Chains A and B, each alone.
Chain A
Amino acid sequence: MLVYIVRRLLFMIPLLLGITIITFVVVHLSPGGPADMLTGLSPKVGAEAKARLHSLYGLDKPIHVQYWLWLSRIVRFDFGESFKDGRLVIIKILERLPATLLLNILSLLLIFFIALPIGIVSAVRQDSFFDKGMTIFVFLGFSVPAFWLALLLMLLFGVVLGWLPISGMHSVSFPEFPFWAKLWDMIKHLILPVFISAFGGLAYLSRYSRASMLEVLHQDYIRTARAKGVPEKKVIYKHALRNALIPIVTLLGLSLPGLIGGGFIFETIFAWPGMGRLGYQAIMSRDYPVVMGVGVIAALLTLLGNLIADITYAFVDPRIRYR
């Protein structure tokens, strides 16, 4: 099994390289890239700053040299300074990362604890009212534009009912709150973003759990369990579930990129101070170092998610664990 993990890790290296190449290429070759910035209209950037940029990014050197320079700096997590305010990109990202992670992890938990039971019960009671109802729900879930749902919920809960706040992570007077009030305030701010973030994943995972469970229920070993005289409840929750969980659990790790991707929209809508919002703002203001930094970190997190998924899979399936 150790071999398995090591192989996976080694696998990641070319992927990482590929990611950096693509990020670099996209940013530098598109019109409006850093090369143009220097020659372009940017009165705010004085001659001194321009010269600094010039040397910093080696913009006069050939492109593969630029890439190499950039790569050797990223390895040390040195993404340079933001064009906007000159602060270190990595610092800006690290400031926002916890908020994004909080959102994503909570979403994952929500997805897992709701979608999984729905899927399992749908499979066990195939074609029942519940199953058919859930199928409708899932279809809707796949078809709803999440940002629209966000708007509607903001409208309903934030404006009409006034129960929940619709932006930010804390209220304005947060620092003055006592502990419990702080906690409650955070929870209130988390409810809508987490729900919206989890929404698509909910639909997908409940469908997937159902499919996985159904497939397991048709296996021979389930028939054996019944033939042994195992009561039906145990057949489902011990024999079947354990097998059905294997692909599901790995899917969770693979859901991370989806969540991170969605984060760009949700964080913007809800003014959530996360990495996604930072990335969006950076794109809009052509803050290249930040864009590249966020892109690489996001891809890294995705890779990490995949790695976790693979390791979990190896752990959970004895056929992999004990070759």
Chain B
Amino acid sequence: MEKVLEVRNLSVEYYKGGKVIHALRDASITLKRNEVLGIVGESGCGKSTLALSILKLIPEREGKIVSGEILFKGEELLSLSEEKLVQIRGDRISIIFQDPFTSLNPVFRIGNQIAESLALHRKDNLSTSQMEKEIIELLELVKMPKPKDTMWSYPHQLSGGMQQRVMIAIALSSRPEILIADEPTTALDVTIQKEILDLLTELKKKLGLSVVLITHDFGIVAQICQRVSVMYAGSIVEEASTSEIFQNPLHPYTKGLLESLPSRQEPSGSPRGEKRRLKAIPGQVPDPSNLPSGCKFYPRCPIGIEDCKRAEPIVEEIVKNHWVRCIRAG
């Protein structure tokens, strides 16, 4: 299958208070056409940074992409001029963010904000009435209730779920090829979460999208992702298909994450009905400005050995289409 997006060895640094934060180190992901790739990791592992870097959305004052390549259908994105990048953003590659309320401009009506995207990316000039029609169609596409009325609303007048639908409508207004969704449901109620995820799946099919879905929730991964990349401390530690990851996790971190899911814990078989403690990975995520040498997971790893400290492991294909960054995997 065609590789529609390839991130190769991307490294990104942030600068804060005189310290260098290594947010991304040599991260690589591959997205195939019409596929939903999940990127999983805890807070601070660099997944949002990855998402923002694809479209070079990190302000220069805050951080820099120090090395790596990003190939969109074979074209290298990082070497493009700002003018060319502006044409790709929101047009060929779109991104939606975690908190829809703060991501929408509070002083413009949502119809207006959708119209802006349409005006920017549609090659044909639309008249006002055509524009209105398009907006309503888009809102219907994202299953917005009463689109004719809501298009005149301001963001604060809508619920979280509705706001996120607007964001999706804006993102899809140009019929992009890739949609990057950075924790799209984290800020929403659980009941709405499922609706939005189902919507995304449907839209993917309808519009032939390829999706990068960033999340910290394996449950969501199970729901709609075909492939998964697990991130830790700024780099990818495991990559495989969803079913493979759940059935045969190879990296100790992935195993730890999966084991700590409440749904995966065995119900207590004890006759006295003892409750079991939730299993968690001991220790804490390392400080990105002060990373240990060697394998970054070693301090928390239940199977770490001396060799792990010496050098950071490289990614190897242990099983077919199943890549792991661990010398003790397999």
Contact = CB atoms under 8 A, between A and B. Distances in A.
Contacts of A322: 154, 157
Interface size class for chain B? 20 to 34
B13 interface: no
B154 A318 contact: yes
Interface string B105-149: 111100000001100110000000000000000000000000000
Given A220-B103, A221-B104, A221-B105, A229 B86 contact: yes
Contacts of B95: 227
A224 B61 contact: no
B277 to A, nearest CB: 37
Contacts of B86: 229-231
A124 to B, nearest CB: 11
A168 B103 CA distance: 54
Interface of A: 126-127, 219-221, 223-232, 239, 242-243, 246, 317-319, 322
A220 B97 contact: yes
B107 A242 contact: yes
A232 B82 contact: yes
A78 B89 CA distance: 67
B120 A319 contact: no
A173 to B, nearest CB: 52
A224 B105 contact: yes
A318 B107 CA distance: 6
Contacts of B288: none
B97 A224 contact: yes
For the complex of A and B, list the 3 residue pairs with the smallest distance between their C-beta atoms, beginning with the closest.
Answer: A229-B90, A229-B89, A228-B90
Contacts of B250: none
A220 B88 contact: no
Contacts of B154: 318-319, 322
B57 interface: yes
A126 to B, nearest CB: 7
21 contacts: A127-B61, A220-B97, A221-B106, A223-B97, A224-B97, A224-B105, A227-B57, A227-B89, A227-B90, A227-B95, A228-B120, A229-B86, A229-B88, A229-B90, A230-B86, A230-B116, A242-B107, A243-B105, A243-B106, A317-B106, A318-B107
Interface in B152-205: 154, 156-157, 167, 170
Interface in B46-97: 55, 57, 61, 82, 86-91, 94-95, 97
A225 B116 CA distance: 10
Nearest to A228: B90
Contact of B107 (A127, A228, A317): A317
Nearest to A242: B107
Contact of B89 (A220, A228, A243, A319): A228
Interface in B24-39: none
A228 B116 contact: yes
Given A228-B94, A232-B82, 8 more contacts: A126-B61, A221-B102, A225-B105, A227-B89, A228-B170, A229-B87, A229-B121, A242-B108
Nearest to B91: A229
Interface of B: 55, 57, 61, 82, 86-91, 94-95, 97, 99, 102-108, 116-117, 120-121, 154, 156-157, 167, 170
A153 B106 CA distance: 45
B25 to A, nearest CB: 23
Contacts, number: 72
A221 B108 CA distance: 11
Given A322-B154, A322-B157, A224 B89 contact: no
A228 B104 contact: no
Residue of B91, B99, B156, B170 with most partner-chain A CB within 10 A: B156
B72 to A, nearest CB: 14
Contacts of A231: 86
B51 to A, nearest CB: 10
A243 B107 contact: yes
Contacts of A317: 106-107
Nearest to A220: B102
A224 to B, nearest CB: 5
A127 B57 CA distance: 20
Nearest to A226: B57
Nearest to B98: A220
Contacts of B55: 227
Contacts of B61: 126-127
A225 B104 CA distance: 9
Contacts of A230: 86, 90, 116, 120
Nearest to B106: A319
Given A126-B61, A223-B57, A227-B95, A239 B105 contact: yes
Residue of B120, B121, B167 with most partner-chain A CB within 10 A: B120
Nearest to A224: B103
Contacts of B97: 220, 223-224, 227
Contacts of A243: 105-107
Contacts of B57: 223, 226-227
A317 B107 CA distance: 7
A238 B281 CA distance: 47
A215 to B, nearest CB: 13
Contacts of B82: 232
B184 to A, nearest CB: 13
Residue of B88, B106, B157, B170 with most partner-chain A CB within 10 A: B106
A316 to B, nearest CB: 8
B105 A319 contact: no
Contact of A219 (B88, B102, B117, B167): B102
Nearest to A246: B107
B272 to A, nearest CB: 50
A217 to B, nearest CB: 9
